[in-house]
Amino acid sequence: MTPPAGLRVVPHRAARLLLAVALSTAGLAASSPAAAGPALPRVRLIATGGTIANRAAGRLTADELIRSVPDINRLARPEPEQFANAPSASLSLDQWLALGRRIDQLCRDDGELSAVVVTSGTDTLEELAYFLHLTVRTDKPLVIVGSMRNPDTPGYDGAANLLAGFRVAVDPASRGKGVLVVLNDEINSAREVTKTDTRRVDTFQTRGYGVLGVVDPDRVVYYRAPARRHTSRSEFDVAAIRALPRVDVALVYQGASGDIIRAMVDQGARGIIVAGAGAGALSGTQEEAIAYALERRVVVVMSSRAGSGRIASDAAGETAAMTVHGEDLAPLKARVLLMVALTRTQNPVDIQRMFAEY
């Protein structure tokens, strides 16, 4: 049979040779950096312990946590780092400082690092997260994750939370939003979030304001951004803080004695957070005890035990006028800010300005 005009006939062996060369060339092209696309972002996972690692046979390490989430390698190049492996309430304030310095150093010195994810126990997660939110100076995403169920429990939420945390960390929209707390596919700001239930997986919530965003199957979605100063815009520098001063919390309840506040002062507290009733009401002999603290140059911050709402600077009376008003910060968050503030000043006017800005 005569081939159509213009059609070149290639001998069988030659055709096989051309095919082999073509496949080889295609393989080289596919393996080249340009064909492979850009490298996945590098994300440092810093593990501190908590329920997310609390397996009965021995706590999971940072490396084991990464290996528990196979899909994580499709999102990023995870780099495990073991900082601690203990319940969150067991971490000392010195360890807070060491962790903050480590994250600050990583973000400052490693230009190729995209983000940092930290695992924490949930009991004091909100306090650690807010401390980092105030002191680590970077725009890189900083994400805190944990879990409410341990690895031996049916419905273990640690792997899902870790995957969601990595998805948030590598999302470009997370940059510049400060420290983000990611559990139960929800994104909350470290300043606003609080643990609301002892058992439920949806325990971390932002009362009054709502979540910053959500982690949905198709993408990360943000609805708003934090308005207060944090991280790269913060005046606090964790590298310059040598120790955090003692700050105690006094609870207001019916017929409360001021003796507890006096004891805090006598034992060396440099600041006291008063978790007042309602909009900051006191009880028993607490007002006299606060005057005792103020006379000894202890900074007193009024907050509320109510769970939400702002302490306005319109309180009557000489003692109330001399205290710092804690804005909408919960007592535990107010304590974190006051500790950091006292590393820079003891002037109540300056500290009131900080509570208004942070």
- Name the DSSP letter for residue 277: B
pLDDT at 314: 73
Asked if 235 contacts 261 with a C-beta cutoff of 8 angstroms, the reply is no
Determine how many CB atoms are found less than 10 A away from the CB of residue 147: 26
pLDDT at 15: 41
Question: Identity (one letter) of the amino acid at 306?
Answer: A
Radius of gyration, alpha carbons of the chain: 27
Structure tokens at 14: 């030659």
Helix-then-strand count for the chain, H and E: 12, 14
Nearest CA to 183 out of 150, 143, 154, 223 is that of 143
Structure tokens at 74: 């499709």
Query: Per-residue confidence of the chain (358 residues) as pLDDT tens digits?
Result: 444 444 344 444 444 433 343 434 344 333 333 345 689 999 999 999 999 999 999 999 999 999 999 889 999 999 999 999 999 999 999 999 999 999 999 999 999 999 999 999 999 999 999 999 999 999 999 999 999 999 999 999 999 999 999 999 999 999 999 999 999 999 999 999 999 999 999 999 999 999 999 999 999 999 999 999 999 999 999 999 999 999 999 999 999 999 999 999 999 999 999 999 999 999 999 999 999 999 999 999 999 999 999 998 775 556 777 899 999 999 999 999 999 999 999 999 999 999 999 9
Residue 237 main-chain phi, psi, to 5 deg: -125, 110
- Name the DSSP letter for residue 61: P
Residue 179 main-chain phi, psi, to 5 deg: -80, 130
pLDDT at 321: 73
pLDDT at 318: 64
Structure tokens at 197: 């239930």
d(CA 21, CA 14): 11
Strand 186-189 and strand 213-215: pairing?
Answer: antiparallel
Of 2, 48, 51, 194, which residue is the catalytic one? 51
pLDDT at 231: 98
Structure tokens at 149: 């169920």
- Active-site residue flag, 51: yes
Structure tokens at 103: 């994250």
